């Protein structure tokens, strides 16, 4: 078996624990294999890979696209992050709930976040290299977000004094997101 997986409490969010082969030379891990991932329900085609480098305390999120929703398979190759998916699908039984997990170079875990969820992460190490395979392209005109510190979501990001982009500082609340959907 080359990986273990755990279905999170949110449908469509899967924690993947690939088999890591290590010795005195380093390590090898299979980060994607179409047939194996299809067996656990990840059947979307991937069209874009992204890599970001951030320093301790950087928080990116919570992001989503209003159209062309992106599924993401995320992992960390250096350092560690606290990674969070928020269910923003109004018809979902876990609407408004979130799931978080530490992803690190040490554990080599991945998180699958299917299209239709918001995503963010906070860097918990000195530096982190974060990777994500996406099921759709980035369209800046459809980019949207929800405020990371929304009290209705009450996410524990595992850091204090986050470093944010200007757009993340002014992202709307979860209540504003719901009102925009007519909920």
Residues designated catalytic: 63, 132
**Beta pairing partners, 83:** 101, 121
- Rounded Cα distance between 3 and 143, Å, is 33
Number of Cβ within 10 Å of residue 82's Cβ equals 20
Reduced to 3 states (helix: H, G, I; strand: E, B; else coil), residue 39 is helix
Number of Cβ within 10 Å of residue 105's Cβ equals 15
Tokens of 9: 């409490």
């Amino acid at each position: 078996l080359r990986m273990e997986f755990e279905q999170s409490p949110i449908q469509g969010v899967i924690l993947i624990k690939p088999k890591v082969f290590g010795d005195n030379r380093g390590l090898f891990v299979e980060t994607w294999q179409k047939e194996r991932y299809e067996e656990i329900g990840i059947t979307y085609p991937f069209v874009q890979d992204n890599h970001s480098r951030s320093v301790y305390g950087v928080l990116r999120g919570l992001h989503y696209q209003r159209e062309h929703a992106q599924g993401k398979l995320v992992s960390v190759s250096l350092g560690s992050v606290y990674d969070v998916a928020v269910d923003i699908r109004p018809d979902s039984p876990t609407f408004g709930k979130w799931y978080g997990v530490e992803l690190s170079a040490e554990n080599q875990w991945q998180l699958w976040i299917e299209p239709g969820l918001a995503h963010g992460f906070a860097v918990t190490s000195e530096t982190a290299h974060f990777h994500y395979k996406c099921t759709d392209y980035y369209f800046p005109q459809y980019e949207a977000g929800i405020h990371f510190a929304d009290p209705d979501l009450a996410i524990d990001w595992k850091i204090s004094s986050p470093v944010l982009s200007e757009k993340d500082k002014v992202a709307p609340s979860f209540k504003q997101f719901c009102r925009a959907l007519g909920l």
